[in-house]
Amino acid sequence: MTTDPSERTVLISGGASGLGEVTALWFLGLGYPVVVLDLDAEKCEAMTEHLGDRGAVVCGNVLDDADVQRAIDAARTFGELRWVIACAGGGEVGGRIVGKGGVPHDMGIFQRTLELNVTGSFNTLRLAAAAMSENDPDPDGERGAALLVTSGAGFEGQIGQIAYGSAKSALIGMTLIAARDLSSVGIRVNAIAPGVMNTSAWEQGPPELKAALESTVPFPKRLGEPEEFARLAEHLLANRYMNGHVARLDGALRFAPK
C-alpha cells in the first residue's frame, strides 16, 4: 500500500473535457498521476499537453473493453491504480415519449444514452475494480475507491429527458449495489449528482438562459463551479468511511417538470 500521492494513480473516463477535465487537472495539481480515457481525439491531444510526463491520455471508448484495459494498464505504469472516476456520459435531445402527431420516442436515442451513461460507467467500474482488487489492502482493508457521476436529472428528470433521466437514475441505483458488491474486495463506491454546473459549454449559450437558471437555485444563486465538483470528488475518494453514498451538488436545486 502507498500513501504517497505521486504513487497513487487516478483514472478518469471522460477526463478531457467538462467536469472530467477540471477534475483531472485538480488531482494533477494535488500531486497524483492522472490517466484520462476519452473519445474525443482533439481534446485528448490537448489534455496530453496538460498532463505532460505526470500522466497519460488514452483515446478510446468506455464501451470497448480493450480501450478501458489500455487505460488501466497505462495507469498502473505510474503506480497503484487506487481511484477511478467514471465521468464519461452525456445525451441527445430525445423529446417526449409520444411527440407531436403521435410519433413515439426514438428508440436509438434511448438505447445510445443508456449505453454511454450506464453501460459505459459499469464497464469502467468492473474492469477498474478487477485491477484494484489486486492491490495490497490498507489498514481498513481498502484496495481502492470508485466514483460514479450521475445527475440531478436522475432524481427529478424533466419532461423531454426520459432517456437521460432514466440513465442517470440507473447510476443512482447502481451506487449502493456496487458498494455492497465490492465490499468483499475492499473497494468503496460513491457518486456525485451535479445540478447545473458552470462548464465551458455555457460559453456557447445565451447569457439570459444562464441567468434564468441561476435564479432557480435556492442558494447560492449561481451555477456550480467545476472546481467544487473536483473538490467533492477528492473528498468522496479520500474519506474511507464514505461508501454507497450519492452526494447532490446543486445548491438545493430541484428541477421542475419542465
Question: 32, 110, 164, 255: which one is catalytic?
Answer: 164
Compute the distance between CA of residue 56 and CA of residue 33 in angstroms, rounded to an integer. Answer: 8
* Cis before 206 (ω within 30): no
User: How many CB atoms sit inside 10 A of residue 255's CB?
Assistant: 18
Compute the distance between CA of residue 97 and CA of residue 99 in angstroms, rounded to an integer. Answer: 6
Compute the distance between CA of residue 249 and CA of residue 121 in angstroms, rounded to an integer. Answer: 19
The full DSSP string for 85-131 is EE--------B-SB-GGGPBPPHHHHHHHHIIIIIHHHHHHHHHHHH
Compute the distance between CA of residue 14 and CA of residue 175 in angstroms, rounded to an integer. Answer: 19
Q: For residue 241, indicate whether it is catalytic.
A: no
Say if CB 172 and CB 117 are below 8 A apart: no
Name residue, grid cell 498532463.
51
> Which residues are the active-site residues?
164
